[in-house]
Amino acid sequence: MTDQNANANSEYLNLKVKSQEGEEIFFKIKKTTQFKKLMDAYCQRAQVNAHNVRFLFDGDRILESHTPADLKMESGDEIDVVVEQVGGSF
């Protein structure tokens, strides 16, 4: 029993997704699941267009095809959401 629990725990991560305004949403995600799933869920919940937001882990863009294992993430890690930056004039 205890072994199974440990396995289950290590298979899933709790990640904190933090918006620019400081709102936090927690997601439980499998280490081997692509981030696309999390991103879609977040965008739907926050009602934003996926093209207009970026997910950052330690300052680097997370791609849809990345998995938490790719990025060596641990439970409790924080993901920053920033909106698309544009500029042309002043």
Partner 1 sequence: MHKVKQNSTQQVIKKRSLSQLIQIVEEEIQFPDNNVTVMSSIQKQIKKTENSFVPSSGKDIGQLRKLVLNHEYYTSIDGNIITEKYIKLKRTRRAIKKQKYQQQFMFLQTQANPFSQTQTAYLQPQYFNQLQIQNMYSPALAQNLQGTNYDQQLSAFQQNQIMHLQTLPSLEQANSQIMKQQLGQQLLVPQQSLQIQQQQSMIQIQNHSQNGEYQGMVNNYMKMDRVQLSVKKDVSKLDEESESNFSDDYEESSESDQMVYEKFSYTYSYMQNDRKKDITIEHHDLKKLVPNQYLNDTIVNFFLKFFEVEILSQEMKEKVLIFNTYFMSKLAPNDQIEQLSSSSFEVINGLFEKNYQAVRRWIKEDIFEKQFLVFPLNLPEHWSVIIVCNHKNLFDQDEKSEARQQNSSENPTTIDEDDEQDQDKEIKDENSSNKPKKEYNKPCLVYFDSFGLLDPKYSNMIRLYLNKEYETKKKSTIQKNIVYNERTLPSHQPLIPRQTNYVDCGLYLLEYVENFLNDPQQILSLFNNTEFDEWIHLRWFPRCNIHKKRKFIKELLIDLSKLSKEEAAKNYQQKRANLLELKKDNASQYDEIDMEEFEDHIDEIAEYEEDYPNTQEEKHRQLLDFYMNPNFNKYDVV
Binding site for partner 1 (CB under 8 A): 20, 51, 54, 56, 58-61, 63, 66, 80, 82, 84-90
User: Counting every residue, how long is the chain?
Assistant: 90
Question: Closest separation between CB of residue 31 and partner 1, Å?
Answer: 18
Question: Closest separation between CB of residue 63 and partner 1, Å?
Answer: 5
- Residue type for position 34: Q
What token pair was written down for 61?
């863009």
What token pair was written down for 48?
């934003």
Cβ-based nearer residue to partner 1, 11 or 60: 60
The C-alpha atoms of residue 28 and residue 77 are separated, in whole angstroms, by 11
Question: Closest separation between CB of residue 45 and partner 1, Å?
Answer: 22
Cβ-based nearer residue to partner 1, 23 or 60: 60
Cβ-based nearer residue to partner 1, 8 or 22: 22
Q: Write the CA distances from 48 to 19, 27, 36, 39, integer angstroms.
A: 11, 17, 14, 10
